[in-house]
Structure 1
């Protein structure tokens, strides 16, 4: 199974327009971070976790020709805003795209994209089949997802474990019972927003401490804001088994 990091950045702490900071002006492609999302390519399914505002460009940039499903972590705009752009896959595949979302995310999708769900069948609207999920494991084809509930400040959101791979974004705290679901993971992806304390996201130090506690063989940091710093500089500060992820990074798990 191949994982591609479609985006490793965040709207959090990023100016509305290019601000001339060291990240905006960097010529290092690893500093060019779109909103956080990953592509999962298994033998029988192609799946995306989250479709933020950059979804269309991410699909084009990654050369994705087929999409079976989108799985959502939570309802914030930087994770759901691009769902309308699945219509191109509907047209090419002549079929709907499966959407996996908990009750709160489903409510947000209906609010943000009412024309998809109002039953009018307007020509050209995105075609989806919504599958309710909670904290119970579920399968998409041969791919088994084990949801992991983490806290994004006071908002419970979902990370996911797939075999020995665990993907968590927007976490601030994780309960002991949910950590037990993660232990034994060989490859961990966890958010690291910035160095300064933040109310709803792991800092760099907190992400490193969490990775050490879980003990994965390899950890990748994602959901990175401009405030964290340049990829080259931060990479020099990290332990040998922890790396900053970057847009376009591919790993096999």
Structure 2
């Protein structure tokens, strides 16, 4: 399995115009963080979790020309806004794009992309095939996904486990009932927003505590805001098996 971190950043609390913080001024490519998303290539199948506003840029950057399905963690705009751009894969693959999410997510997609579900659809719009998922394992193209039911403040969010890899973003609480699904991991990618406490995200200290509990072989932090600071300054402070993720990082699981 090859996991590519398409984006490791966030819109939350980040000045987008005129920012002069040390992260914005950094020349380190690891500090250039697009909105969070991940690509999984396994058994010759290609999957993306979340399609944020930077989805098209990320796909072009990584040269991804096959996409078998899209999975959504939750319905916030910074995770769904780029869905329209799957139309390119509709054209290349000559089929509808399977899209997986909980009921609330699919309802939000129907509202945001109403034109894609209209009775009379304009030629060239994205063709989407929606699949509702629940907190139980499911398979896509023979690949099993195990949902992890977590909370983003009070909003239910799905993380996903595939084999020995798990991805949890936009989370500040993991119910004890879900910890069993996260045992014996090779690699965990986990959201860690900043140093200070936050109402709906783990901060760095809390994310490290989760890693200590789950004990994956390797852990990478994602959904990183500018408030975390520069990659080169933060990563040396972390345990040896824990790293900050960065856009374009490839992880072989």
**TM-score normalised by length of structure 1:** 0.98
1:18 Cα offset (Å): 4.0
The whole-number CA distance in structure 1 between the counterparts of 2:112 and 2:81 is 8
1:49-128 equivalences under 5 Å are 49-128=49-128
Confirm or deny: 8 A CA contact 1:45 1:140 kept in the other structure.
no
Which residue of 1 is the match for residue 29 of structure 2? 29
- Count residues with an aligned counterpart: 253
1:43 Cα offset (Å): 2.1
Give the secondary-structure state (helix, strand or coil) at the position aligned to 1:243. strand
Per-residue CA shift, 1:77-114, capped at 9, x if unaligned? 00000000111111111111110011000111011110
1:16 Cα offset (Å): 2.8
Which residue of 2 is the match for residue 247 of structure 1? 247
Coordinate RMSD, CA, aligned: 0.8
Per-residue CA shift, 1:52-98, capped at 9, x if unaligned? 00000000001011111100000000000000011111111111111
Per-residue CA shift, 1:201-237, capped at 9, x if unaligned? 0000000010000011110000000000000000011
Which residue of 2 is the match for residue 191 of structure 1? 191
Which residue of 2 is the match for residue 204 of structure 1? 204
Give the secondary-structure state (helix, strand or coil) at the position aligned to 2:126. coil
1:183 Cα offset (Å): 1.5
The whole-number CA distance in structure 2 between the counterparts of 1:52 and 1:241 is 28
Moved more, 75-84 or 14-23: 14-23
Which residue of 1 is the match for residue 12 of structure 2? 12
Which residue of 2 is the match for residue 45 of structure 1? 45
1:147-226 equivalences under 5 Å are 147-226=147-226
The whole-number CA distance in structure 1 between the counterparts of 2:92 and 2:181 is 38
1:246 Cα offset (Å): 0.5
**TM-score normalised by length of structure 2:** 0.98
Give structure 2 stretches of 5+ with no counterpart.
Answer: none
Provide runs of 4+ in structure 1 moved above 4 Å. none
The whole-number CA distance in structure 1 between the counterparts of 2:177 and 2:149 is 10
Confirm or deny: 8 A CA contact 1:44 1:142 kept in the other structure.
no
Confirm or deny: 8 A CA contact 1:18 1:24 kept in the other structure.
no
The whole-number CA distance in structure 2 between the counterparts of 1:17 and 1:84 is 25
The whole-number CA distance in structure 1 between the counterparts of 2:225 and 2:32 is 11
Residues 18/65 of structure 1: CA separation in 2 closer, same or farther (3 Å cut): farther
The whole-number CA distance in structure 1 between the counterparts of 2:230 and 2:143 is 34
